[in-house]
Structure 1
């Protein structure tokens, strides 16, 4: 029988050193001594006969081999966590806590009817509703950081149920110079002005979507802050329609006609990152959210 040379704890320590940017930071986060972390990683490298980290200045940096091994190790540690979580769900009738990650762009009012129905049936389960955006939401799926996730697309390797359509509008203040330019506005002219963008909540953001041509960009963490800046006649921004419709109707903000598109539409999906470990509380919440979904589905596939 094969006997592993390494331990799960050693791989978790390596991940922490990389994720937190060094031994000192990881030691603080893990509440361990820095020397114990150094020893664990050194022993890991010795047992494998592979150099995983090299210290450049004060920072521990992955070698090429280390990048490959670290990536594979995350699957290993996640599988162990999933296995232990499954055992907990098997040994108890109802999970004590349920984590629901929701993309910032998703209209919260579409979620509230399901939450109202969930409360009297929740058996005291604590519900965490956590806001994420862009890669941060996808990260919650890929790293199994939540029981349920509402995201604007389904990452590779997962399945999701469509629950709503989210429409985005390009808007600015009616007194902003862009609002008085000949329309439709050329995208190159648009790029000369301040763009307000929403900060990616991931620890490793990946700007792989969206119009980001403006060199002059201000980053905020919430759509509400972006709207406040727009009302101060600062910049332009893509904002979910449900957040600015009233302001547009009141004439406080205007849509910007742009060559190519002034409008984009995305579908929100409900995703369970670990369907095999789904507890009864998570199953109930998922069912209620799907019951209240606001999207047209083919009648041939879904007959209520």
Structure 2
């Protein structure tokens, strides 16, 4: 039994399919299936039932999986301890945060850490989509707060941080906002969708909530996107926390679009397993865990 096999089991259970696990772990579906079968053979227990479309934990599998979660948590804690014991105060720590996340939860942490370690320069950036994981994997960010989309789970340590709700909205005078009946994707293709550009280089491009074949206007950040939506020049998804006041005043209204219902996006604090951790980066990491929402 190996730790990698436990990661595979965890990915299958959390993603709900072998295909989803393969995409998360950046492995082939056949490799995922082989590793699970090898684990089951080694422990002589059938962990997952394959009778339905989605694999389900067997009775024995549920008990084994609960212990798997504990082992993975203990491994993460052990790895963090080892890194802390070898840690040195860094000259610079880089933190990259998803542009959809409110900054407030992290600002207090950064302020406290700066007071305790004034000699360390803290670099904070806001990134979109694959720009976050690209910065982490390239080594230009010590910690990111992002979704797990496209993240090689076996290479990182990740802790759930917060949920962000994305709402499709437009100005009340925008034609699709005139009624609440569901608009089909075909109907919406003639209306301009405002989207935020991926801040990555393109090697790990991600896309979320894009209408296939529709008109599109790409902007660099969510603040510009919100202003364009308020001006009635298009429609698009915006984090709910960014538009609460506009919704309350009626300056923006929620749309009812096929395939674009309100979406909850789970964000994680993530760091590479093989990267040396200094005392400042560890302090930020530990404080972030304490703010999980």
1:125-163 CA-to-partner distances (Å, cap 9, x unmatched) read 110001111111121122222111111226023231011
Cα distance change, pair 104–160 in 1 and its aligned pair in 2 (3 A): same
Which secondary structure state, in structure 2, belongs to the residue aligned with residue 101 of structure 1? strand
- Matched with 1:117 is 112
Q: Deviations over 1:58-95 (max 9, x none)?
A: xxxxxxxxxxxxxxxxxxxxxxxxxxxxxxx96x8410
Report if aligned partners of 1:146, 1:273 keep a CA contact under 8 Å in 2: no
SS at match of 2:199: coil
Segments of structure 2 that go 5 or more residues without pairing to the other structure are 1-84
2:94 is the alignment partner of 1:96 = no
Query: 2:254 maps to which residue?
Result: 255
The structure that has the greater radius of gyration is: 1
Contact 1:255 1:262 in 2 (8 A): no
Count the aligned residue pairs: 205
- SS state at 1:258 partner: coil
Shift of 1:182: 5.4
1:61-72, aligned counterparts within 5 Å?
none
1:168 to 166, 169, 178: 166
Q: Judge which range, 187-196 or 217-226, deviates more.
A: 187-196
CA contact (8 A) 1:102 1:149 kept: yes
Cα contact 2:180–2:256 (8 A) shared by 1: no
- Measure how far apart 1:216 and its partner are: 1.3
Query: What TM-score results when the alignment is normalised by the length of structure 1?
Result: 0.63
- Taking the TM superposition and a 5 Å limit, the aligned residue runs for 1:208-223 are 208-223=207-222
Give the conservation status (yes or no) of the 8 Å contact 1:173–1:254.
yes
| Counterpart position of 2:101 | 106
Tell me the residue number matched to 2:129: 134
8 Å Cα contact 1:114-1:292 kept in structure 2: no
Q: Report the equivalent of 2:190.
A: 192
Q: Which runs of 4+ in 1 moved over 4 A?
A: none
Structure 1 counterpart SS, 2:237: strand
1:261 Cα deviation after fit: 4.1
**SS of equivalent to 1:102:** strand
Question: Hey, what's the Cα distance between the residues in 1 that align with 2:272 and 2:211?
Answer: 29
Q: CA deviation at 1:276?
A: 4.3
Measured against aligned partners, the alpha-carbon deviations of 1:147-200 in whole angstroms (never above 9, x if no partner) come to 111112260232310110011000000000111145122222112210000011
| Aligned-partner Cα distance in 1 for 2:95–2:104 | 15
Following the alignment from structure 1 to structure 2, what is the Cα–Cα distance between the partners of residues 95 and 175? 52
CA distance in 2, matches of 1:278, 1:267: 25
Secondary structure of residue in 1 paired with 2:223:
helix
Which is worse superposed, 279-288 or 119-128?
119-128
Corresponding residue SS for 2:243: helix
TM-score (norm 2): 0.66
Quote how far apart the aligned CAs of 1:119 are. Answer: 2.3
Instruction: Compute the displacement of 1:208 (Å).
Output: 4.2
Cα deviation for residue 113 of structure 1 reads 2.5
CA contact (8 A) 1:163 1:293 kept: yes
Moved more, 225-234 or 186-195: 186-195
Instruction: Mark the runs of 5 or more structure 1 residues left unpaired by the alignment.
Output: 1-88, 295-304
Q: Distance in 2 between matches of 1:135 and 1:243?
A: 21
- Tell me what 1:177 maps to: 175
Partner of 2:286: 287
